[in-house]
Amino acid sequence: MKFVTFAGLSCLAWSLVAPVHAQVADMGKTLHTYFEAPESGFDPAKYSDHYSGEVNSSIFESLLAYDYLARPQTLVPRLAELPQILDDGKTFIFKIKPGIYFADDAAFKGKKREVTAQDVVYTIQRIVDPNSRGAPWDFMFKGKVIGLDAKIEAAKNKPFDFDKPIEGLKALDRYTFQIKLLRPDYNMPYIMAAPATGIVAREVIEAYGEESEAHPVGTGPYMLKSWQRRNRIVLVANPNYRGHQYKPATGNGIQIDQTVAKQLEGKTFPRIGTIDIRVIETPQASWLSFLNGQLDTHPRLGYNYARLIAPENALTGKYLSLGWRYFREAEADITYYMFNMDDKVVGGYALEKVALRRAIAFSYNQAKELSIIRNNQGLAAQSPLAPQINGYDPNFRNVLGRYSPSRGNALLDMFGYKDCDKDGWRELPGCKPLKITYMTSTGADGRDQEELLLKGFNAIGIKLDIEKMNFSDLLKNRQGGTYQFAGGAWGQDYPDAENFMQLLYGPNAGPVNESRFRNKDFDKLYDQIAAEPPSEARNERLRQMSRIVAAYVPWIYNINRIRTHIAHPWVSGYKPHPDNMPHWYFLDIDAAKQRAGTSK
């Protein structure tokens, strides 16, 4: 047996979140929180939006998880122990812990339903099944698992055959799951910690069919009690949950927030009986709700309000005196503007199309967005990658990413984008109309960003229309390719560059690669970095990939965000995590202080 060591993961030693087989949630305690954009549905295989993922992460469990307080991010057991890794990273064997049960549901016909290895086999196949709303997470396993791609191809014309065995996915016994790959994938343990790989029961999925997203049944600490779509989600503690006590990870280079660790010490989780989530799409409304005590936590505070309470990145006296808990944390994410490379106007690879996108990139004032609009709560993104992940190079610079409308104008002049009718706006080469539509969501306070974009487009003589819609419809248009120009954001599913570069990988064009960028040189490099462990040679290939993206401009890099999070003093155990998941089950509430605070 050959063991492999990963950043943040050693198969020889690990921390445990110890099961205690006791459900001690206090049903008299309610945590009030919010989402700044609507959810889509609660089926991990079918939906890829972040807000659905936050709920899924509390209802479903993956085989592995991240230690709550350890930095850098460190994998720990969850449904399974950390895997045995064989064949130089091509075979992974997971031992599932016996005695873990799904929440009760009518689909189980009155019987307790234990998690088994066969559930993992089924869950992974659902993730790649094209009938799972286009399989937005299939990149995690497609092209990797022995025998799986043939099943995917067959399912394009008929229902997926879940019962046909393949070499790559096997239940070796009731509690032992094996995955065998075509090539090494050193990220597979991280993938098995992603919320999208939360384990589901086949009986439940088949019982509810197309309505599976409204009937989530998992093994996690919470269950769905009620759901008013795009408005309110209420979760309650799962009485079948085994209960956990937090024990921090240990190892070289691991740091633990000792203040929060002390708040968790000796407690069995979850402590809170109900999680009440409101969808509040405007920053002002969410801020006022927190200020009035209607929200107990306020993740991702709007930039203007972050500037108000902490102008020097620390709470001012007024807010400090209220006892608020304040966190300013860098996220492992990137925001960007993207072009639909299949669009007849802004897409394509001909020189005049590349020139158009580069000119638009020259018109974007990244420094102003960062300093003025976002109050310096971020880093100027230089590549498709994010901080806090393997492969990120803080010294890399996008040499084509400068703000220079004059260069943009010169480039457009050179390639025949002229104002043919003298109305102040450029036309396409040949004097055909040129108008670009930017698609964005309602609710979010994006007026400043929109004005910045309009100013930039005006400076290079290109007419920009702005089309607004709710977030779910925006996501549908982006994933379906029915847009020209839109904003995007990506947070880690696992902390490695491959998870970000796959957003531009040609075979992923569609719901994953929303820009539909295709480049043979990029794809060849991707295939290499996806099969090798972190190294300086791999990092250089990643830099090459970033240069290719900069040259063709399917994306205009925006910001690697730094977020502000606040919580009232009656909330303990609160600590934002780089994975941007809420981890509600580690929180606790002093109910007496909550009542006193909300009655003022």
| pLDDT tens, residue by residue, 29-47 | 999 999 999 999 999 999 9
In the numeric block, the tokens 């209802």 are attached to 59
- Report which of residues 376 and 255 the model is more confident about: 255
**pLDDT score of 180:** 98
Q: Is pLDDT of 484 > 50?
A: yes
For the chain, which residues make up each domain, given as ranges? 40-223, 333-561
Q: Is pLDDT of 4 > 80?
A: no
What is the chain's alpha carbon radius of gyration, rounded to the nearest angstrom? 24
Q: Pairing between strand 485-491 and 333-339?
A: antiparallel
Query: How open is the CA angle 366-489-426, to the nearest 5 degrees?
Result: 50
Q: Is pLDDT of 1 > 50?
A: no
Give the SS3 label for residue 354. helix
**pLDDT score of 250:** 92
Identity at 28, one-letter amino acid code:
G
Two structure tokens written together for 358: 């580069």
**pLDDT score of 387:** 93
pLDDT tier at 443, thresholds 50, 70, 90: low
* Chain centre to alpha carbon of residue 370: 22
Identity at 327, one-letter amino acid code:
F
40-223 matches 333-561 in fold:
no
Pair 223, 526: CB distance under 8 Å: no
CA-to-CA dists, residue 246 to 20, 114, 190, 587, angstroms: 11, 23, 20, 12
With pLDDT > 90 as the criterion, what percentage of the chain qualifies?
Answer: 89
Mean pLDDT, the chain, rounded, equals 94
**pLDDT score of 7:** 39
Segment among 124-133, 145-154, 437-446, 591-600 with least mean pLDDT: 437-446
Q: Is pLDDT of 531 > 90?
A: yes
d(CA 167, CA 126): 17
**pLDDT score of 10:** 39
d(CA 98, CA 172): 15
**pLDDT score of 24:** 79
Per-position DSSP letters for 243-310, written without gaps between them: -EEE----STT-EE-HHHHHHHTT--B--EEEEEEEE--SHHHHHHHHHTTS-SEE-S--HHHHHHH-
**pLDDT score of 167:** 98
With pLDDT > 70 as the criterion, what percentage of the chain qualifies?
Answer: 96
Select from 545, 330, 363 the least CA-distant residue to 458. 363
Question: Dihedrals φ, ψ of 293, to 5°?
Answer: 80, 10
pLDDT tens, position by position, 333-378: 999 999 999 999 999 999 999 999 999 999 999 999 999 888 889 9
Identity at 175, one-letter amino acid code:
Y
Q: What is the chain's length? A: 600
User: Region 97-122: what's the mean pLDDT?
Assistant: 98
* CATH 3.10.105.10, applies to 333-561: yes
Q: Is pLDDT of 5 > 70?
A: no
Segment among 258-272, 367-381, 562-576 with least mean pLDDT: 367-381
User: Region 587-595: what's the mean pLDDT?
Assistant: 96
pLDDT tens, position by position, 427-442: 999 999 999 999 999 8
pLDDT tier at 8, thresholds 50, 70, 90: very low
pLDDT tier at 23, thresholds 50, 70, 90: low
pLDDT tier at 2, thresholds 50, 70, 90: very low
User: Region 130-136: what's the mean pLDDT?
Assistant: 92
Query: How open is the CA angle 231-236-237, to the nearest 5 degrees?
Result: 150
User: Region 236-243: what's the mean pLDDT?
Assistant: 97
Segment among 11-20, 48-57, 498-507, 510-519 with least mean pLDDT: 11-20
- The CATH class of the 40-223 domain is alpha beta
Segment among 19-28, 260-269, 591-600 with least mean pLDDT: 19-28
Q: Is pLDDT of 16 > 70?
A: no
Give just the sign of the alpha carbon dihedral 39, 43, 48, 50: positive
- Report which of residues 445 and 152 the model is more confident about: 152
pLDDT tier at 212, thresholds 50, 70, 90: very high
d(CA 55, CA 68): 17
**pLDDT score of 599:** 79
Select from 445, 421, 450 the least CA-distant residue to 434. 421
